[in-house]
Structure 1
Amino acid sequence: MATYKLCIKCLTLNLSRELFTQDTNGRWDTETWRPVLSGSRSELQKRYDTCGLCRLLLLTLNANTYAVSDQVEDFEWEAAWVLNDLDYRDAELIPHRKGSGLCVVRKAWFDAPVNLIQLVEDETVIDEPLYGRHRGIDVDIDRILSWFQFCQREHDDNCSAAFLNVTQRPVPTLMIDVIDKCLKPADTGVKYTALSYVWGRNNEPQTRESTLQEFSEIGAFDRVTLPRTIEDAIAVTVALGFRNLWIDSLCIVQDRAKEKLDLINAMDSIYSQAALTLVAATGDTAHSGLSGWSRESREEVRELTATIAPDLTIGVLPPCGHLIETCDWVQRGWTYQEGVLSNRCLIFLEGQIYFMCRKNLWREDLVGGLPTTNFSGSPFLGRPDENWNSSPQPILEELIGYYSPRILTFPSDITYAFRGIENAIGPAIGGTQFFFGLTSCAFDASLLWTKKSRNEVLTRRPGAPSWSWMGWEGATSYLATSYFIDEIDWLTTRTWVDWYIVDDSDNLVYVWDSTRDTIVVNQSPKGDLKLQGKSQPIWCYGSSLEENPFGRQTVLWPVHERPPALNASTVPRGFPYLAFVTVHSIFNMRVVSQQHNITSTYIDICDKGGLVCGTLGDYYLSDIPSPDDGIKSVEIIIISYADEGLTHFFTAGKNIKEIYGEFEVEPLPTIAFNVLVVAPHTQRLGIYERVGSGFLLKDALFRGLEPPTWKQIVLG
């Protein structure tokens, strides 16, 4: 650990241990920000090798989200004292357990802080949480075991049973015996660790029919060269006192198709039943190793500390949440459900080891582990706040929002890599069926996904239908459903489409069928279920009847004429086509840009007279006109009434307010429709694809380029 002097400017701070242990009210928000030091980045670069604080200030700046490099032009920065609780901001901590850290940000930009400069001491000097501690060059196995044992002893039930109701299936058929270094059949009830990692392109060897016998012989894995990450996982498992380890590449016989599919469909059980999941969060291949296990990977992190006085050492302590958000592991699709479904994770990340359960976060470089319910890092493992007073449907939608931006080497894996989530949360939604990530019991609501941001680019994903978010690569979210006031009332009174789907057996069936699905139908009074110890409503249609298959209470048709019956004989088979009858029309769309800022660009729907009568939250195709190109005609289908909770969102656009003014809005079912933009499939005659979504004012329905008509639609 290097010793440094301080420059004249940094000496003016009169740094002492007391400054770091005091409880400050400072935050990085504009109201409480009080700069105590400022300067230019070029000054820090000049004093990098001579002043310990300047060195850490520059390292902190370079680690921020804007990730500046040496080639970037110079800029001004400023630093202030803030609370050192970035990972634990929502935890219920008594004040004296918090200290202070120096936060440095780019002046005027006011980026959210990524790292703080904090006090670093030995545990023999201080034992209060949230202060940095010296971290040895070797892994302290006893400390890791103490974290695990504390979790087991103090909150085993809380960490084993979250909102995800995982069905306990038999454990996987094969395990790695880390003592005998070979594959063995798994014993019932055996305790094991599991590995979650990024495969990369060359993850060999793998277990196949041709290697199964060889890998089942004692000492087999001493006689083959294993990827570094797998070797480290075996070593960690031995060190922690476990004998069994589950790794997908070796514990699944890769060329046994049915067995492989069965295990893929059981990922929820495999990872939730593991005593501990080892997460290789750093590295984009199986050869990267577990960062923080080897001495060389730990040495790099030790460079982030500086001794500036005989009794004062400070260091850069990055928040776990930011590191997880930006690491290789969190970008990949398959690793998502592995993190969500695991009860306890030992995370190897940027040369450090973290222990994360559903209640606590421990880290090597901080003293103690604190109980927390929603620290800033937790959403990146896909675990919503357990205090949510919410039904399972929006929890599922939140999980989809975290999963959808992730990358898959093979795009067709999109359904399999999410299957564990469906299996786990399905029972909380009464056992509803899933169709490409959409719930059958609330299908109209599940269709209301949209791009996560206006500048997000969605591209078509092969192997999944366009009507599902799985059919598009890119980040999606459920903005519309988050504003619902009464979801069950909306499902049964503000929708009208009878949705059909072509199933795996090429049969045309209803998406919702209360006699087929195991879900308990909500009637009045509304049914509910216990979620996190609270009663939560299930979003659900009513009981299916021959004349009312979706069990709606009332049907408010968008036009006076009743719809014709679906002609099932004309619906193609062989793909999960969505078939239905609804109102179809053609309108113009016009792109409007505010202040040349792409994030504030939105798309107007215009009637035949050019009057703005709606808005498109997104449009996925590349033929979108620029603001200078004028208008483009698009086909629109009406799928439901917009919920009244969307009033302020729908009227947020400048042009909408110009037309309607600030008025007292009556319930939105009389105001607007949810609509989809559709386009003919380029290769399949008679098939449409979903290419956008938005809202259309109800009174504009008859002002389109063509009169609204009932039309049978088949979406591919």
Structure 2
Amino acid sequence: MPVDRNSFNKWNGAGTFFQSLIAKADSKGKSKAEVGIGRNRVESNNESHDSKSNTTTILEPQTPSLHEVADTDTLCSQCASLNLSNHKFTARTTLTTTTRTSTTTVVPAEFDSTGFDPAHLGTLDQIYRRSTACAFCRLIYDCTHSDTGGDGIGHDGLDAEGKQVSCQIEWHLDSRAQDSRPTTRRMLVFNEHGAFPEFYVVPVAPSSNHDAIPVGRAMDRDAADMRLLMTWLQSCQNEHTDCSNHQKANLAALTIEIRLIDVFALCIRVIPPGETPSYASLSYVWGQTQQMMLQTDNTDTLHAPGGLLKFRLKIPPTIWNAFEVARQLGIPYIWVDALCISQDDMEDKARQIQVMDKIYQHAVLTICVAAGEGSQSGIPGVDGTSKSLPQNRETYRDLQLTTMRPVAALIGASRWDTRAWTFQERLLSTRCAIFTNAGLVWQCSTTTWREDMTSPFGDRTLWSLDSVGSPLRALMGNPLRSYTSCVRIYSSRKLTYLGDKLEAFNGLSTFLGRKLGSEIVFGLPSRYFDWALLWEPEDAGERIAFDYYSWRTAVLPSWSWCGWDHQVDWRLSTVGGPLFNLHEWLTEHTWIIWRIAKDQHWKLVHDSCDTVASTTSNQTTHTYQSKRWDGYGPSAANAYGRSDAAAKCRHSASVPLLHEIDCLPAPEMPVDGRLLFKTFTGFFTLSRKSMSKSTFQSALVPGLCRFGITDISGDWCGSIILDKSWMNSVGAVFEFAAVSDAKEFTLEELDTWTYYIPEERQQAEWYCFNALMLKWSPDGNDKQPLAERVGLAKIFQSSFFGRSFKPCAWKRIVMT
């Protein structure tokens, strides 16, 4: 494709290499633009011969015809060794011969596997020099040096530090049909250290080939293909039974009135409870500029026909563009948060947030704007807003090739994909049309399509490489895994007001709660509460302080992940033991009766007599699996369905009655969100001492550190992951509250068995406690001290009962 001459002139000392490259590109630009699309198809040799004694079948997917280009290019010796051809990108099936005694499968004689092995193409500076005469090198040059993701790669092929950058390729199988047999391949071009964003290389098919197997597709840079989007929508509605069933399963009637924008009358309509007209929803980033909002003083004007036109200059381009998308798709209404929620009415805002899951699930389509920095940027390809990323194409003989970023990387590079509110909007939606700077992307629970690829419609292709990394997959499979995946991704997202962290997850909480058969309490499922408390930080961060600009009136609790500004996860080193049989662990290895302050009263976090029916309860599953993931067991005698031994706390006998601290009554009229519980505590010091060699040490991000914990004798007795700022507190004594049994130390926590307990490591199990490191809050007082969670530790049980700096005590704790 033509190369920008001005960008090269900025690079001094380019020499004849760059001059020849410019001349080559300029001379080719016109001829490529004028060339037509060939109509000749490469015929497939589909034939079948059947007899009683011998069956020979050749099954080959039809090879798509490619552009017939007059001025073909050459390849350098390095790229020629890849043996590029149409067949390389088609996953050809084998020839099978069956006789009375045997079945033989062979590769057809015309199939050439040369070039399928992973290969090193050299360094980028070498590739750039070869690009004057090599079409494939030029394709790599166009995709790595430019503003489309060069990340500091100069026109000389060196990185920002002047170092060489290696370039590798490998082949990936693509486009699985229902029988799980791949139909196509893509070539992945990458650097093993991520020096430039990886991308795929695929052949380009003629525009008439939209229903063939997935290959590249030429796009209009200036306009999104709305006809294609309409085809996707109709195909999903008519053919994707999983998507239709998903939407029907969540179509409980809205019990409150909502507002929708009439895109033809250009006004806001009030939709009574129980009515569900066809509408789209919009997911976008507000940005830093002042946003036009529905408020008490403009509500009458905006509800009158044509009312939105009176605010034409105040309503941002992204919203106007979304109206146009809905109109072209024939969808009469659209839901936009800024204009459908009264932003200065806190009661209305709270009501609408409570039904956010239903609003997005009811929508026929969610228009997602994964481009620009805010609502002033517009939607790429709509009403004159162009796509900023070019489509790179090069030709070799009869093969025209194009490049494309993986969908996850393309969307992940947008500001939209970093925001907390947009995460649940995307996951709750039945169908998403995602507008990016490189074109349209369609995602639903069945498949992923993209504007720069041909799209087999219906259920023929259910999976492609474009589905990899989709957060929609986080909702598939085991409900508990769905929950942890969603929290891990969501907790890394950004919020303008940190105090909104729980509200921006509320819609997903409702959805996940139905899957888990559990109430979600401050982001944690009550049915698995002891296990849910075992979250740990994935990056450095701080406790979220009270946010004056948030509509919440109280600080988020320290015991929940929603009270912290960092990403969290449930590390396998911590939860691996319980996951062998989670139900058994919850009923046999936990003992605390958790109570939470709600409406100024103490209430059980979970009551086994009042468990919400799980949406998966009607599924046919193996008896053991059902029990394994069941959460707390049902029990009329014990709120948490535990065995008698666990309910009475099998460890309490180890704590001398002399040290029972239970003299303080539970506070009356408690602040909502505080946690009340009884357990035993021990006192230990924070240490720099690590008990894992580099071979087994945890791979922690900068800012986090695995600290050691030592007992009164100075012996290592546990570990904890904390922010590195806690280095200042090494040597200080802290209080730890045991909350559940832990099966063992993993090698990343303890790789040298010191016989701290008199057992062989292979035989020892359930010899540790999961324990919360406590910090006493200044908000407490002598009558009612308040604890804050600092982190989650794993400590030898025997340390509590014999090696604590202060005697182990059975204690009532109120945690904020």
TM range (shorter): 0.7 to 0.9
Q: Give me the whole-angstrom Cα distance separating, in 1, the residues matched to 2:283 and 2:189.
A: 34
- 1:372 aligned counterpart, secondary structure: strand
Superposed, 1:4-19 pairs within 5 Å as: 5=73, 8-9=76-77, 12-13=80-81, 16-18=84-86
Greater length-normalized contact order (CA 8 Å, ≥ 6 residues apart): 1
Q: Which has the larger radius of gyration?
A: 2
Q: Give me the whole-angstrom Cα distance separating, in 2, the residues matched to 1:149 and 1:376.
A: 20
Structure 2 unaligned residues grouped into runs of 5+:
3-27, 30-72, 94-114, 155-159, 546-554
Q: CA deviation at 1:14?
A: 7.5
CA separation of 1:557 and 1:361: change in aligned 2, threshold 3 A: same
Q: Does 1:114 align with 2:198?
A: yes
Superposed, 1:273-422 pairs within 5 Å as: 273-293=362-382, 297-298=386-387, 300-301=388-389, 303-309=390-396, 311-369=398-456, 371-372=461-462, 377=467, 379-384=469-474, 386=476, 388=477, 390=478, 392-422=479-509
Q: Deviations over 1:557-616 (max 9, x none)?
A: 324147676844447722421121111111122235666998365222222222222221
Q: Does 1:491 align with 2:580?
A: no
Superposed, 1:424-435 pairs within 5 Å as: 424-430=511-517, 432-435=518-521
User: Does the CA-based 8 Å contact 2:247-2:361 persist in structure 1?
Assistant: no
2:687 counterpart residue number: 590
- Pick from 753, 757, 768 the counterpart of residue 657 of structure 1: 753
Q: CA deviation at 1:380?
A: 4.3
Q: Give me the whole-angstrom Cα distance separating, in 2, the residues matched to 1:657 and 1:159.
A: 55
2:318 counterpart residue number: 229
Range moving further from structure 2, 443-452 or 593-602: 593-602
- Pick from 550, 573, 591 the counterpart of residue 670 of structure 2: 573
Q: CA deviation at 1:213?
A: 1.4
User: Does the CA-based 8 Å contact 2:189-2:198 persist in structure 1?
Assistant: no
1:524 counterpart residue number: none
Superposed, 1:186-225 pairs within 5 Å as: 186=271, 188-223=275-310, 224-225=312-313
Q: Give me the whole-angstrom Cα distance separating, in 2, the residues matched to 1:139 and 1:564.
A: 68
User: Does the CA-based 8 Å contact 1:178-1:237 persist in structure 2?
Assistant: yes
- 1:290 aligned counterpart, secondary structure: coil
Q: Give me the whole-angstrom Cα distance separating, in 2, the residues matched to 1:380 and 1:459.
A: 29
1:605 counterpart residue number: 709
Q: Which amino acid aligns with 1:129?
A: I
Q: Give me the whole-angstrom Cα distance separating, in 2, the residues matched to 1:15 and 1:79.
A: 16
- Pick from 618, 622, 625 the counterpart of residue 725 of structure 2: 622
Q: Give me the whole-angstrom Cα distance separating, in 1, the residues matched to 2:395 and 2:466.
A: 30
User: Does the CA-based 8 Å contact 1:604-1:612 persist in structure 2?
Assistant: yes
1:502 counterpart residue number: 597
1:38 counterpart residue number: 121
Q: Give me the whole-angstrom Cα distance separating, in 2, the residues matched to 1:254 and 1:110.
A: 43
User: Does the CA-based 8 Å contact 2:736-2:773 persist in structure 1?
Assistant: yes
Q: Which amino acid aligns with 1:261?
A: A
2:642 counterpart residue number: 552
- Pick from 640, 649, 674 the counterpart of residue 740 of structure 2: 640
User: Does the CA-based 8 Å contact 2:787-2:813 persist in structure 1?
Assistant: yes
User: Does the CA-based 8 Å contact 1:194-1:246 persist in structure 2?
Assistant: yes
Q: Which amino acid aligns with 1:182?
A: C
Q: CA deviation at 1:406?
A: 0.7
Q: Give me the whole-angstrom Cα distance separating, in 2, the residues matched to 1:500 and 1:565.
A: 16
User: Does the CA-based 8 Å contact 1:284-1:328 persist in structure 2?
Assistant: yes
Superposed, 1:513-552 pairs within 5 Å as: 513-515=607-609, 517-519=610-612, 529-530=617-618, 536=626, 539-543=630-634, 548-552=638-642
Q: Deviations over 1:382-430 (max 9, x none)?
A: 44263x2x3x333212211111111110111111111111211223333
Q: Which amino acid aligns with 1:507?
A: H
2:543 counterpart residue number: 460
Superposed, 1:44-63 pairs within 5 Å as: 44-45=127-128, 52-61=135-144
Range moving further from structure 2, 53-62 or 243-252: 53-62
User: Does the CA-based 8 Å contact 2:541-2:566 persist in structure 1?
Assistant: yes
Q: Give me the whole-angstrom Cα distance separating, in 2, the residues matched to 1:592 and 1:62.
A: 46
Q: Give me the whole-angstrom Cα distance separating, in 2, the residues matched to 1:149 and 1:482.
A: 44
Q: Give me the whole-angstrom Cα distance separating, in 2, the residues matched to 1:322 and 1:221.
A: 36
Task: Extract structure 1 runs of 4+ deviating beyond 6 A.
Answer: 47-50, 63-66, 110-113, 532-535
Range moving further from structure 2, 393-402 or 567-576: 567-576
1:28 counterpart residue number: none
Q: CA deviation at 1:672?
A: 1.1
Q: Which amino acid aligns with 1:319?
A: P
> Aligned residue pairs: how many?
679
- Pick from 145, 148, 161 the counterpart of residue 233 of structure 2: 148
Superposed, 1:172-183 pairs within 5 Å as: 173-183=258-268
Q: Deviations over 1:295-316 (max 9, x none)?
A: 5523x43x33223346432111
Structure 1 unaligned residues grouped into runs of 5+:
26-31, 522-526
Q: CA deviation at 1:551?
A: 3.0
